[in-house]
A = this chain, B = another copy of it.
Amino acid sequence: MGKGRLEAFSDGVLAIIITIMVLEMKVPHGDSLSALRPLLPVFLSYVLSFVYLGIYWNNHHHMLHVTQHVSGKVLWANLHLLFWLALVPFVTAWMGENHFSAAPTALYGVVLLMAAIAYWILQRTIIATEGPHSLLATAVGRDIKGKISPLLYAVAIPSAFFEQWIAGGLYVLVALLWLIPDRRIERKLGERKP
């Protein structure tokens, strides 16, 4: 079963999610530069989510690049990931419009955590299909970043109710952690090149 349509569908959904977030930025009523100021937290949360969705697209791209077989289970694990990513614009807008207040900031972390878990399930599902000696399995290896991220989200979520900026800082930290493209797979591909 070809992976082409899985990639095309995921690209479509991710492209829409990323662009839908812009729609959440309501055009201000005044026409002065100061009318833009209330939009600043919305804009910052939009930038953060844009980077997160960019990371997901990037890693998804790398992961499927080394995938050979796509089973029915993989299709559903992928839809499950897209479901949580599709909630990102909602929590981004809620967090931005409420200036990173407690509950919205915590919920933002919950959606990120669920997306991270969904990505891990997708990865496991593909490796289960491809086998433990597949390109993806060896490339992922011990998957340290993939294990640290959920832990950091789990710390960030309750901390949002005490000191919201710890949560915000942790979200930025995880994003920076992943912003570096997944060299593991690129390296593995390099090694295998004849």
CA distance A182 to B23 in the complex (A): 31
Q: Answer whether residue A14 sits at the interface, using C-beta atoms and an 8 A cutoff.
A: yes
14 interchain pairs, CB-CB under 8 A: A1-B65, A1-B189, A5-B11, A8-B8, A8-B11, A13-B18, A13-B19, A23-B89, A25-B90, A28-B94, A31-B98, A47-B83, A54-B76, A72-B186
CA distance A13 to B183 in the complex (A): 25
User: Which 8 A-B pairs rank lowest in CB-CB distance, beginning with the nearest?
Assistant: A72-B181, A12-B15, A31-B98, A16-B19, A31-B101, A54-B79, A13-B15, A33-B103
In whole Å, how far is A30's beta carbon from the nearest beta carbon of chain B? Answer: 8
In whole Å, how far is A176's beta carbon from the nearest beta carbon of chain B? Answer: 13
By secondary structure, the A interface counts as helix
In the bound complex, residues from chain B placing their C-beta under 8 Å from that of A27 are 24, 90, 93-94, 97
CA distance A142 to B23 in the complex (A): 38
CA distance A19 to B87 in the complex (A): 9
In the bound complex, residues from chain B placing their C-beta under 8 Å from that of A9 are 11, 14-15, 57
Q: How many copies of this kind of chain does the complex include?
A: 4
* A93: nearest chain-B partner, CB-CB: B27
Contact partner, A23, options B23, B32, B98, Cβ 8 Å: B23
In the bound complex, residues from chain B placing their C-beta under 8 Å from that of A131 are none
Contact A61 B75 (CB under 8 A): yes
Contact partner, A22, options B8, B65, B86, B101, Cβ 8 Å: B86
In whole Å, how far is A24's beta carbon from the nearest beta carbon of chain B? Answer: 7
CA distance A76 to B36 in the complex (A): 27
CA distance A93 to B25 in the complex (A): 11
Contact A58 B76 (CB under 8 A): yes
Contact B50 A83 (CB under 8 A): yes
A window 79-106: CB within 8 A of B: 79, 82-83, 86-87, 89-90, 93-94, 97-98, 101-104
